[in-house]
Amino acid sequence: MASTIAIAAPARAAKPWYKVLYIQVLIAIMLGALVGWLWPGVATNDWIKALGDGFIKLIKMVIAPIIFCTVVSGIAHIQDARKVGRIGVKALLYFEIVSTFALVIGLAVGNLVRPGAGFGGAMADAQKVQTFADQAKAQKSVDFFLHIIPDTVVGAFANGEILQVLLFSILFGFSVMGLGERGHTLRSFIDDAAHGVFGVIAIVMRAAPIGAFGAMAYTIGKFGTGAILNLIGLIATFYLTAALFVLVILGIVARIVGFSIFKFLAYIKDELLIVLGTSSSESALPSLMEKLERLGCSKSVVGLVVPTGYSFNLDGTNIYMTLATLFIAQALNFDLSLGQQITILLVAMLTSKGASGITGAGFITLAATLAVVDPRLVPGMAIVLGIDKFMSECRALTNLCGNGVACVVVSWWEGELDRDKLHANLNKQIDPTDVETAITTG
């Protein structure tokens, strides 16, 4: 019923350009970069930094409730319990296949371009790197799996631990499913609660331009444009490699499913710009889940695939690890053998999952990978420490694109992709920025 109402609704007058969210965010990013460049003293003020941090905290505030409501509702409405396991297996299989492509592309480009060859830059403060190396050693595989189980349910929600909330949500969803007709009232309450939480997101998203301005101004003001230019070769190579992955690999996957990757990127442009401004893929998680459901993906698939993908489908992080490992090896004049490069692929598949949920996960996974390949490479992380902030933006953008496409693919694989809604949204027959309308008609 919701999809029929949404598609059949008469077209409304287009919003004025200055009221469109992605335009507001884009302007805010440019203004933030300008302020950070011209007035770095002002841009590094605690209150400017608080604008970006505050917006991210507002988003993180509702991530746990959204995951809980979406996952529980999706599972509770499924009649066959085996379907949940089937979706999970398909999602993990897809994650591993696509992640492998990401790792191979990063390795291939690193060997072809050789961005670290002839690097003459001085080593930075190696003591700063030791922190990340210690965290990487501390995060063992067994610790990672034990960490998925929360000490208390309340603690999982309070700390915003996505995997812990996801585990409890899956168990609770199965419990509600088992109640049968007795669980009807509880299912209805959770469905209504989900609409209420998405309403909160609609309100919070109005502050996205302010958050993007503060985050970008502080970043440029603190690190300066010189930090970007210092290792421009590596940054450019990473961004081009990530673009190649999204447009070619994800583009082919999208074409197989039956949609255009360019139209899909245009559909999630608000979320991409928010991630660009805040350097955090979590800042776009709630609105991405809402948009994917409106795009025609089933609620059960969205609820399971997207939160899981944020920990197990890190395409941008995978590209970064292989490319940065080769860059450091080349900069330090280490010739990695074919066996060592294959080791990078195997280790990166594990470390990219093992360090999920840790602050600075991309840098920590790099430390873990280098330590296994050759411990002598770990101090070389100091070379890329200064530009990691700018690299993290590309990692987050690529991860977001990969998880969005993954959700559509698994929905298609499950036979639960509403193609009418898919094409109506991608062809802009429905305004993708009108969150309030989607909530009221959903």
pLDDT in tens, 288-335: 888 999 999 988 888 888 888 877 788 888 898 888 888 888 877 888
pLDDT, residue 117, reads 73
What is the SS3 assignment for 51?
helix
278: which residues sit within 8 A by CB, 6+ positions away?
52, 55, 56, 211, 212, 215
Of 28, 45, 394, 396, the residue nearest 211 (C-alpha): 28
C-alpha distances (whole Å) from 44 to each of 28, 55, 386, 418 are 16, 17, 17, 47
Quickly name the fold that domain 2-441 has.
Proton glutamate symport protein (1.10.3860)
**Is the confidence at residue 165, as pLDDT, over 90?**
no
Mean pLDDT of 111-138: 59
Pairwise CA distance, residues 312 & 76, whole Å = 24
pLDDT, residue 352, reads 64
- Split at pLDDT 50, 70, 90, the class of 15 is low
Q: How many of the other CB atoms lie within 10 Å of CB of 438?
A: 21
What is the SS3 assignment for 25?
helix
pLDDT, residue 119, reads 60
90: which residues sit within 8 A by CB, 6+ positions away?
410, 413, 414
Pairwise CA distance, residues 103 & 315, whole Å = 8
The residue extents of the domains of the chain are 2-441
**Is the confidence at residue 387, as pLDDT, over 70?**
no
**Is the confidence at residue 86, as pLDDT, over 90?**
no
**Is the confidence at residue 115, as pLDDT, over 50?**
yes
Per-residue pLDDT tens for 263-279?
A: 999 999 888 888 887 76
Pairwise CA distance, residues 300 & 304, whole Å = 6
Q: Is the dihedral of CA 55, 61, 67, 70 positive or negative?
A: negative
Highest mean pLDDT (candidates 49-53, 84-88, 423-427) = 423-427
Pairwise CA distance, residues 364 & 372, whole Å = 13
Of 102, 107, 94, the residue nearest 342 (C-alpha): 107
pLDDT, residue 408, reads 95
Angle between helices 285-294 and 184-204 (to 10 degrees): 120
Encoded tokens for 160: 């915003």
Q: How far is CA 431 from the centre of its chain?
A: 23
344-363 b/e with 16+ CB inside 10 Å = b?
Answer: bbebbbebbbbbbbbeebbb
Stronger pLDDT, 33 or 77, i.e. the higher one:
33
**Is the confidence at residue 229, as pLDDT, over 80?**
no
Q: What's the chain's Rg over C-alpha atoms?
A: 22
Q: Which residue has the tokens 């991530």?
A: 63
Query: How high is the mean pLDDT of the chain?
Result: 77
**DSSP string for residues in 119-160:** --PPP--HHHHHHHHHHHHH--HHHHHHHHS-S-HHHHHHHT
Pairwise CA distance, residues 421 & 430, whole Å = 9
Q: How far is CA 369 from the centre of its chain?
A: 21
User: Amino acid identity, residue 285?
Assistant: L
pLDDT, residue 3, reads 38
Which phi and psi (to 5°) does residue 260 adopt?
-95, 130
Pairwise CA distance, residues 390 & 399, whole Å = 15
Do the Cβ atoms of 153 and 64 come closer than 8 Å?
no
Do the Cβ atoms of 317 and 399 come closer than 8 Å?
yes
